[in-house]
Chain A
Amino acid sequence: MKMIRAILRPETAEGVAEALADAGFVSMTQAHVFGRGKQKGITVGTIRYEELPKTLILMVVEDKSVDDVIDIIKDRAYTGNFGDGKVFVSPVDAAYTVRTGAKGL
Chain B
Amino acid sequence: MKEIIAIIRPKKVGPTRNALEQLGFPSMTATAVTGRGLQRGIAGEVNMDCPPELLAANKPGGMKYIPKRLLSIVVQNSDVDAVVKTIIEVNQTAQIGDGKIFICPLEIAVRVRTDERGDDAVL
- A residues lining the B interface (CB < 8 Å): 1, 3, 21, 26-31, 58, 60, 90-99, 101
Contact = CB atoms under 8 A, between A and B. Distances in A.
A3 B33 contact: no
Contacts of A26: 36-38, 40
A98 B8 contact: yes
Contact of A91 (B5, B34, B105): B105
25 contacts: A3-B5, A21-B40, A26-B38, A27-B100, A29-B35, A29-B68, A29-B70, A30-B65, A31-B31, A31-B34, A58-B35, A60-B100, A60-B102, A92-B104, A93-B2, A94-B102, A94-B103, A96-B88, A96-B100, A97-B100, A98-B91, A98-B100, A98-B101, A99-B96, A101-B88
Nearest to A101: B88
- Please tell me the size bucket of the interface on B: 20 to 34
A interface, over-half SS: strand
Nearest to B65: A30
Interface string B1-20: 01001111000000000000
B interface, over-half SS: strand
B109 interface: no
A10 B97 CA distance: 25
A99 B99 CA distance: 7
Interface of B: 2, 5-8, 31-38, 40, 65, 68, 70, 84, 87-88, 91-93, 95-105
Nearest to B84: A96
Nearest to A21: B40
Contacts of B7: 29
A5 to B, nearest CB: 11
Contacts of B34: 29-31
Contacts of A58: 33, 35, 70
A92 B7 CA distance: 15
Please give me the 3 A-B residue pairs with the lowest Cβ-Cβ distance, nearest first: A29-B35, A98-B98, A99-B98
